[in-house]
Structure 1
Amino acid sequence: MKKLLSIIGFGVMLTALAANQNKIPANQKLRMAEAAVAQFYVDTVNEDRLVETAIRSMLEELDPHSAYSNPEETKELNEPLAGNFSGIGISFNMNQDTLYVISTVAGGPSERVGLLAGDRIIKVNDSIIAGVKMRNTDIMKRLRGPKGSKVNVSVLRRSAGKADTVEFTITRADIPINSVDAAYMVDNKTGYIRLSRFSAETRNEIETALKDLKKKGMKQLILDLVDNGGGYMQPAVEILGEFLEPGRLAVYTEGRNSPRYDHMTQPHGIKPLFNDGRLVVMVNQYTASSSEITTGAIQDWDRGVVVGRRTYGKGLVQRPFPFPDGSMMRLTVAHYYTPTGRDIQKPYNKGDQRAYAMDIVDRFNHGELMHADSIKYIDSLKVETLRLNRPIYGGGGISPDRFVPLDTADFTKYYRDVTAKGVINQYAISYVDANRKELKRRFKTDDDFVKGFDVDSSMLHDLYARAAKEGVALNEEQARQSEPLFKMILKGLIGRDIYDQPTYFKVYNEYDPIFREAYRLINSPEYDAILRKP
């Protein structure tokens, strides 16, 4: 009887609304549809999944960056941008289904109890994690937890040719997620900063890096934003405050229901840390969002030279709308514009997510990543820089002042297959495991390592043999072609595992065409020739 009354009631409501069908609000129609499915559909319905699917589908009809994330996805999205998480404080790799500790966070929970680089964690609390093909995400869930909580780990440690099992109880604590991957002096006057994301702590990290480099004699800076996909917008404005004069327009945002808002530069201290001296910004096709805000303002104000390839072209501002269950909707509410008024957002068709996602592939196929003259500029989108009146363009990313083509000469199918099997990483871990003490004895610092260590032919032979065991047959011609790439990656990984993350970039940058051009240009009269009135 109750079911019958519900059906009658719902039918009466539909009949009443049908009589005034032009007046039904869209949101009411959506609620009615969900209620009808939940109450009358023939089979059992998962209402949560149904609603999530409806939200995702609705947002997919808008722009490419409005999106919904469930509670777990939201946590994973926010964690890197928050600047920290609660865990045990290690960097690790999985080597042959075993967790291998690369390094411990200085002063972190694992270092305090005596965990060492090279240790293998085989058990977390009551769960065996070695030899069971557990996913990295599942392992991290076991190692992470609330601040102050304890976790028991069993470690296999090899020393003096013997393997012992050591038990540790680690108290979890807040662990920083750094956005500055590397900061070092390239020579006695040139500093280098590699920034991987724009997070809540980026301003403090950049400030620390700039002060440290200036103490070491920095007079000019290479800022590496290659592959930096962005993050929060405010840190971009904040670090621009250290590169530009106070009171300069860094970026402005504007949308249909969002009035124009100007974000002005302001240094953290009394004056900017580096608002003079040569500045080169490295970018590529994956440099996006907040990275483009930073790059665009530096270019617009003629503060520095941009080197690399046209950036991604994400010029939309998302506002988070959190739900009580921990899920979140990120809705585009505005465009952002560089100080000259350039809209950096690349063109898109609403609802066509696939075409948007294929843009980088299309650039490759059309030759843009290899040839500067393949970039199509639209005269109607041309503007002039604010100090020197140099011509620059909007309408889809930031175009560099100096183009550097994508170099694929060393890339082969054999290299791709060896990398895909994880063989290079496995070999680096094994090599460091067997030679750590000797390498530390020979090379007291990572600079000594970068200058003095070479990957020799016997190491490559062992690498190729390991690849063959993993099912990748040796292709001698392709191996010779990819030899410089194999040597660079292997040396970088070994250096990283012995010293720290910056060591990898010290090795990689000697190989990287964008860095090499940035370094050449910052020490060349061409720098001033680019930054002058036309």
Structure 2
Amino acid sequence: MKRLFLMILLLGVTAGAVCAQGQSEGMRKLSLADFAITNLYVDEVDENKLVEDAIRGMLEKLDPHSTYTTAEETKEMNEPLQGNFSGIGIQFNMNKDTLYVIQTIVGGPSEKVGILAGDRIITVNDTVIAGVKMKNTDIMKRLRGEAGTVVRVSVLRRGVKEPIEFRIVRDKIPIYSIDASYMADKETGYIRVSRFAATTDKEFADALKALKKQGMKNLIVDLQGNGGGYLVSAIAMADEFLDDGQSIVYTEGRRSPRDDAFATKQGLFQKGKLVLLVDESSASASEILSGAVQDWDRGVIVGRRTFGKGLVQRPIPFPDGSMIRLTVARYYTPAGRSIQKPYDKGHEAYERELLDRFNHGELIYTDSIHFPDSLQYQTLKSKRTVYGGGGIMPDVFVPLDTTIYTDFHRDLLAKGVLGQYPVTYLDEHRKELTGHYKNVEQFAEGFVVTDEMLADLLKMGEAEKVKYNEEQYQKSRALIALQVKALIARDLFDTTAYFRIINPENASFSKAMAIIHDDAEYNRLLQPRE
């Protein structure tokens, strides 16, 4: 009883101390709650976890993009945006519980010691990773590490009886944000940007210069599925298209005064036809770039309404490496449009919004999309009507093609069969294919996915317990064959090869090419609509 009395007395003293420090009533209650739970609760508690849970709880009451991440989560989240990590420099796939090397990074540690595409890594530092159903994340943790440290791997190679031992010195490995860059025809360049990272603006500028040397006069920038990244990279990319002094974006919040970004230099592609491809997964920095291009009537936006993420997060790091990303402002396009979609119905409704779009028909029928007059804005040159209030609405709508997607195709994808089969096929036919196809152009023209190959894929699906459905298979057959061919091309050549194969069947890409080849249509789209 005496101990309980002393604890209560101590609580009172603590309350007085907190008050004396001039903290708010809310902070005083939070400190008292933490003290009481830590010292009086019936069972042992982890105070650090209590505090983390309290932080998460507070942030959940704000907006969907204010978040807390642990030190490990913060590191994993930042790595793809920082442009590099330390590792052994391979692109791999898991094929039947075995790590299969698809490609080695040019000039990377694995290439230097002689690791080859097709090799199977079976042990890492004496730990068996093959046939033990180890998660990809656990394997990556073993392969990654500080630059200069050593990792020992054991490799099985086709045609070699015994495992080969390699000693690899980890090094900085670049993470590229340009997935593909090539000439789609004699005058039209294509660049696919997967994220806006620290190195994206340099990668993009290098790609532009290379394409211009090949005769590029028109450009398609593919932002489909690009969830965003660093604001500065989006600004730098927009700067390549806009004239000096033109507004790109501005941010403003309750405690964050308006901050404007303007085009500042002689851009690499200020003239020439420009088309941006977007979809419902294009977000944040993708929307900033699309909004700037659209507001200045600089190019045509093709696809479907973008995600609608227009909140600015400021990172607030803690000494232990964890971090809060706190929303402090909103993004606005040059015409004053807010990109952010509503989130006043709660996090669950916000997360479900894309599914709601599909269910309401927005991804399929353009006339299912309605904006109130209050959200109307005008572009800055042609005075075209555009809309704010959630994402960027494209100038040309391209519906989601639901005729070729089936549950059977989805299951092949979900069970990894569509990814696993090309790896297996290439493992058995790599020498033959590399001898026959010297470049991706020859492969695209000459390689055919045969009925025999598809039959083998279906057998693999059976082994993975994917229930066969004849009607659905016939419906998705062309799509399955196309994806198999594109994945083989990717693993045989590079990611650009994948998009060279897949793009001609992408409806948004085809629409972009048609618009670029039609001067009258391109110009009409950038003029006011009656």
- Indicate the TM-score class for this superposition, using the shorter chain for normalisation: over 0.9
1:492 paired residue number: 486
What SS is found at the alignment partner of 2:74?
helix
Q: Which amino acid aligns with 1:61?
A: K
What SS is found at the alignment partner of 1:434?
helix
Contact 2:11 2:32 survives alignment (8 Å): no
Could you tell me how far apart the structure 1 residues matched to 2:303 and 2:420 are?
32
Paired residue for 1:400, among 394, 412, 418? 394
What SS is found at the alignment partner of 1:158?
coil
Contact 1:228 1:288 survives alignment (8 Å): yes
Q: Which amino acid aligns with 1:282?
A: L
Tell me the matched-pair count.
527
2:262 paired residue number: 264
Segments ≥4 residues shifted beyond 4 Å: 1-6, 14-20
Matched, 1:391 2:385: yes
Contact 2:56 2:67 survives alignment (8 Å): yes
Contact 2:227 2:282 survives alignment (8 Å): yes
- Cα distance, 1:474 vs. partner? 2.3
Paired residue for 2:477, among 478, 483, 501? 483
- Cα distance, 1:12 vs. partner? 3.2
Give identity over the alignment, percent. Answer: 55
What SS is found at the alignment partner of 1:288?
coil
2:200 paired residue number: 202
1:420 paired residue number: 414
1:379 paired residue number: 373
- Cα distance, 1:415 vs. partner? 1.1
- Cα distance, 1:198 vs. partner? 0.4
- Cα distance, 1:11 vs. partner? 4.3
Render the CA deviation track for 1:405-444: whole Å, top value 9, x for unaligned: 0001111111111221111222111100111111111110
1:83 paired residue number: 83
2:179 paired residue number: 181
Contact 2:251 2:331 survives alignment (8 Å): yes
1:236 paired residue number: 234
1:112 paired residue number: 112
TM-score, normalisation: structure 2: 0.97
- Cα distance, 1:8 vs. partner? 4.5
1:216 paired residue number: 214
1:311 paired residue number: 306
- Cα distance, 1:266 vs. partner? 2.3
Matched, 1:463 2:435: no
Could you tell me how far apart the structure 2 residues matched to 1:433 and 1:15 are?
69
2:404 paired residue number: 410
- Cα distance, 1:9 vs. partner? 3.1
- Cα distance, 1:24 vs. partner? 5.3
Render the CA deviation track for 1:378-405: whole Å, top value 9, x for unaligned: 1111111001111101001000000000
2:147 paired residue number: 147
Of residues 443-452 and 177-186 in structure 1, the stretch that sits farther from structure 2 once superposed is 443-452
1:40 paired residue number: 40
Q: Which amino acid aligns with 2:401?
A: D
- Cα distance, 1:522 vs. partner? 1.2
Paired residue for 1:286, among 278, 281, 290? 281
Q: Which amino acid aligns with 2:448?
A: D
- Cα distance, 1:2 vs. partner? 9.8
Paired residue for 1:514, among 505, 508, 516? 508
Q: Which amino acid aligns with 1:170?
A: I
1:276 paired residue number: 271
Render the CA deviation track for 1:442-494: whole Å, top value 9, x for unaligned: 11001211121111111111111121122223222211111111011100111
Q: Which amino acid aligns with 1:459?
A: M
Matched, 1:95 2:95: yes
- Cα distance, 1:508 vs. partner? 1.3
Q: Which amino acid aligns with 1:92?
A: F
Matched, 1:530 2:501: no
Could you tell me how far apart the structure 2 residues matched to 1:406 and 1:375 are?
14
- Cα distance, 1:341 vs. partner? 0.2
Q: Which consecutive residues of structure 1, in runs of 5 or more, have no partner in the other structure?
A: none
1:338 paired residue number: 333
Could you tell me how far apart the structure 2 residues matched to 1:245 and 1:275 are?
7
Could you tell me how far apart the structure 1 residues matched to 2:285 and 2:481 are?
33
Query: Cα RMSD between the aligned structures?
Result: 1.9
What SS is found at the alignment partner of 1:253?
strand
- Cα distance, 1:5 vs. partner? 7.3
Contact 1:158 1:164 survives alignment (8 Å): no
Contact 2:15 2:28 survives alignment (8 Å): no
Could you tell me how far apart the structure 2 residues matched to 1:151 and 1:16 are?
56
Contact 1:388 1:531 survives alignment (8 Å): yes
- Residues 62 and 443 from structure 1, CA distance in 2 versus in 1: closer, same or farther, beyond 3 angstroms? same
1:448 paired residue number: 442
- Residues 104 and 410 from structure 1, CA distance in 2 versus in 1: closer, same or farther, beyond 3 angstroms? same
Of residues 353-362 and 30-39 in structure 1, the stretch that sits farther from structure 2 once superposed is 30-39
Contact 1:242 1:266 survives alignment (8 Å): no
Could you tell me how far apart the structure 2 residues matched to 1:233 and 1:388 are?
27
Could you tell me how far apart the structure 1 residues matched to 2:23 and 2:76 are?
42
- Residues 333 and 477 from structure 1, CA distance in 2 versus in 1: closer, same or farther, beyond 3 angstroms? same
- Residues 53 and 215 from structure 1, CA distance in 2 versus in 1: closer, same or farther, beyond 3 angstroms? same
2:25 paired residue number: 25
Render the CA deviation track for 1:204-229: whole Å, top value 9, x for unaligned: 10011000000011000000000000
- Cα distance, 1:67 vs. partner? 0.4
TM-score, normalisation: structure 1: 0.96
- Cα distance, 1:40 vs. partner? 1.1
Of residues 24-33 and 327-336 in structure 1, the stretch that sits farther from structure 2 once superposed is 24-33
1:68 paired residue number: 68
Could you tell me how far apart the structure 2 residues matched to 1:468 and 1:533 are?
55
Q: Which amino acid aligns with 1:518?
A: A
What SS is found at the alignment partner of 2:91?
strand
2:50 paired residue number: 50
Could you tell me how far apart the structure 1 residues matched to 2:333 and 2:374 are?
16
